[in-house]
Amino acid sequence: MIEQVVGVVTQMALVLFLSPLIAGFIRTLKARLQTRRGPSVLQPYRDLYKLWRKGMVIPETASWIFTATPYVLFATTLLAGLLIPAISAQAPLSLFGGVLAVVYLLALGRFFLALGGLDTGSSFGGLGSSREMTISAIAEPALMLAVFTVALGAGSTNLSVVAQSALGQSWRFLAPSQMLAFAALFIALIAETGRIPVDNPATHLELTMIHEAMILEYSGPYLGLIEWSAAMKQLVLMALLVNVFFPFGLSSDWSPTAILISLLWFSAKLLVLAAAVVLVETTNAKLRLFRVPELLAVAFVLSAMALISTFLF
Partner 1 sequence: MAGLLAYALGMAAGLAGYAWKRTGAWFPKLLCFLSLTGALLELAASLGALFSRSELAWSLSSGIPYLTYSVRLDPLSAYFVLALSLLAAAASVYSFDYIPRSLPGDSSGVFSFFLNLLLLSLTLVFTASSVLFFLIAWELMTVSAYFLVVFHHESEESRKGGLLYLLMSRGGSGMMLIGFLLLAVGAGSLDFTALHGIGQTLTPSFGAAAFLLLFLGFGVKAGIIPLHIWLPAAHPVAPSNISALMSGIVIKAGIYGMARVFFDFYGALPVWAGMSVLVIGIVSALLGVLYALMEHDLKRLLAYHSIENIGIILMGFGAALLFRSFGYPKLAALALVAGLFHALNHAVFKCLLFLSAGGVLQAAHTRNMEQMGGLIRRMPSTALFFLVGAIAISGLPPLNGFVSEWLTYQALLSGYGATPTLTRLAFPVAGALLALTAALAAACFVKAFGITFLALPRGEEAAKAREVSFSMRSAMAALALVCVLLGLGAAWFLPVFDPIIQQVLGFAVSPNLVAGNGLILTAGSLRSGSVSTAVMAVLLMLLGAMPLLGWLVWGRKSTRAAGPAWDCGLPGLTAENEYTATAFSKPLRMIFAALFRPRREIQAEFEVSPYYPKAIRFESEIEPTFEKHVYDPLRHSVLAAASWMRRIQTGSIHAYLTYIFVTLVLLLLFGVRG
Residues in 92-121 that interact with partner 1 by CB under 8 A: 93, 95-98, 100-101, 103-105, 107-108, 110-111, 114-115, 118-121
Nearer to partner 1, 140 or 287 (CB): 140
Whole-number minimum distance, CB 44 to partner 1, in Å?
Answer: 17
Could you tell me which residues come within 8 angstroms of residue 308 by beta carbon, excluding any fewer than 6 positions away?
Answer: none
Closest contact distance (angstroms) between CB of 75 and partner 1 is: 4
Binds partner 1 by CB under 8 A, chosen from 43, 134, 208, 267: 134
Q: Cβ of residue 33: shortest distance to partner 1, in angstroms?
A: 31
Nearer to partner 1, 260 or 311 (CB): 311
> What DSSP string describes 165-207?
HHHHTTTGGGSHHHHHHHHHHHHHHHHHTT-TTT--TT---TT
Give the phi and the psi of residue 24 in degrees, each rounded to 5. Answer: -60, -45
Binding of partner 1 at residue 37 (CB under 8 A)? Answer: no
Can you tell me which of 23, 29, 48, 143 binds partner 1, judged by CB under 8 A?
Answer: 143
Residue among 141, 238, 136 nearest 186 (CA)? 238
Q: How far apart are CA 44 and CA 23, in angstroms?
A: 7
Question: Using CB atoms within 10 A of its CB, is residue 304 exposed (0-12), middle (13-18) or buried (19+)?
Answer: middle
CA distance linking residue 172 with residue 176, whole number of Å? 9
Nearer to partner 1, 194 or 249 (CB): 194
Give the nearer residue to partner 1 in terms of CB position, either 39 or 59: 59
Residues 167-226 that bind partner 1 (CB under 8 A): 216-217, 220-221, 225
* Residue with Cβ nearer partner 1 (228 or 245): 228
**Window 254-313: residues binding partner 1 (CB under 8 A):** 289-290, 293, 300, 303-304, 307-308, 311
Contacts of 161 (CB under 8 A, 6+ apart): 94, 154, 155
Among 10, 76, 88, 178, indicate the residue that binds partner 1 (CB under 8 A): 76
Using CB under 8 A, which of the segments 54-62, 241-249, 259-267, 279-287 binds partner 1?
A: 54-62
Give the Cα separation of 103 and 99 in Å (integer).
6
* Rounded distance between C-alpha atoms, residue 159 and residue 231, angstroms: 21
